[in-house]
Amino acid sequence: MKNKYKYFFKRLLYYLYGEKFFKRLNYDWSKQPSRTEIIQNIINLKKYSKYLEVGCDKNENFSKIMIEYKVGVDPLKGGTVRKTSDEFFKSNNEKFDLIFLDGLHTYEQTLKDIDNAIQIIEDEGIILVHDCLPKKIWNQIVPRIYGHWNGDVWKAIVHSRTYDYVDTYTCTADHGIGVIFKRKNKDLLRLDNLDFKNYKFADYYTFHEKYMNPISYNKLFEIL
Ligand SMILES: C[S@@+](CC[C@H](N)C(=O)[O-])C[C@H]1O[C@@H](n2cnc3c(N)ncnc32)[C@H](O)[C@@H]1O
């Protein structure tokens, strides 16, 4: 209840002083497979054996993933390693087939996690990033001022779309799942403005296809 009032007050301030763009994207996540189904189906299809999850919380996803070997990193709860992602990547020397990034949902941290994950993903592996498709402006404001919080993870996906050494998409399921393959970018995003942190929700909405490279669940399984 306390949080509700705190968020309401912060939203009021944002409404007065922040970006004013209130159009919404109408994704319906209830009609799409969950992150757990997607991860498990990729593991089964590709016969992967090594899974890393960054940000595990209550192990809602982590505990359900069936695979030979799995590591879960979280500084607070869940998983198998009690560290921040930065601490983990600094000391880790293992490689993984599938890495699911779902830790701190800010552009800066997600980009660091993506860059670090690229270093330790197997050549035929896949990096997935949760919460890439906020439906409305409130979902993506940092710090959090609304119930469902995607954070500005979407900006890290736009940034990753400008890398020529990885191929980045966003699967339109479960709040948006970034999909990063370790191969040459098939549709390199060229942008003049590289100040991704200051990109606006209006840009994300207007240039949605170009920035996020969205693909359906079925399409994802065609390109795997
Ligand atoms: C959205 S929850 C993860 C949910 C989980 N992956 C799932 O699918 O159910 C985010 C988690 O990230 C953790 N976290 C926050 N900062 C982190 C960091 N710097 N490195 C790793 N995990 C972090 C939080 O403790 C929290 O448990």
Residue-wise pLDDT for 131-179, tens only, equals 999 999 999 999 998 889 999 999 999 999 999 999 999 999 999 999 9
For the domain covering 21-223, report its CATH number.
3.40.50.150
- State the pTM of this model: 0.97
Q: Tell me, using a 6 A CB cutoff, whether residue 57 lines ligand 1.
A: yes
**CB under 8 Å to 13, separation ≥6 — which residues?**
none
Q: Are strands 177-181 and 214-215 parallel, antiparallel or unpaired?
A: unpaired
Bridging pattern class, strands 177-181 and 167-171: antiparallel
44: tokens are: 């089964």
Q: Tell me which residue has its CA closest to atom 23 in ligand 1.
A: 103
> Percentage of the chain surpassing pLDDT 90?
91
Report the 10 Å Cβ neighbour count for 17. 8
Query: In this predicted model, what pLDDT tens digit does every residue of 46-59 receive, in sequence order?
Result: 999 999 999 999 99
Let me know if 143 is exposed, middle or buried by CB neighbors in 10 A (0-12, 13-18, 19+). exposed
How high is the pLDDT of residue 69? 98
Q: Which tokens belong to 141?
A: 């404001």
Give yes or no for residue 76 CB within 6 A of ligand 1.
yes
170, 179 Cβ separation under 8 angstroms = yes
Q: Is the CB of 101 under 6 A from ligand 1?
A: no
Higher-pLDDT residue of 118, 2: 118
Question: Length of the chain, please?
Answer: 224
Distance 17 CA to ligand 1 centre (A): 30
Pocket test for ligand 1, best of 70, 104, 116, 177 (most atoms within 8 A of CB): 104
The protein residue with its alpha carbon nearest to ligand 1, atom 15, reads 104
- Does 150 contact ligand 1 (Cβ within 6 A)? no
pLDDT tens per residue, range 83-93: 999 999 999 99
CB 104 less than 6 A from any atom of ligand 1: yes
Q: Quickly state the pLDDT bin for 12 (edges 50, 70, 90).
A: confident
Residue in 140, 146, 92 with CA at minimum distance from that of residue 117: 92
Q: What spacing in Å lies between the alpha carbon of 121 and ligand 1's midpoint?
A: 20
Distance CA 114, CA 70 (A): 18
CA 47 to centroid of ligand 1, rounded, Å: 26
Domain ranges of the chain: 21-223
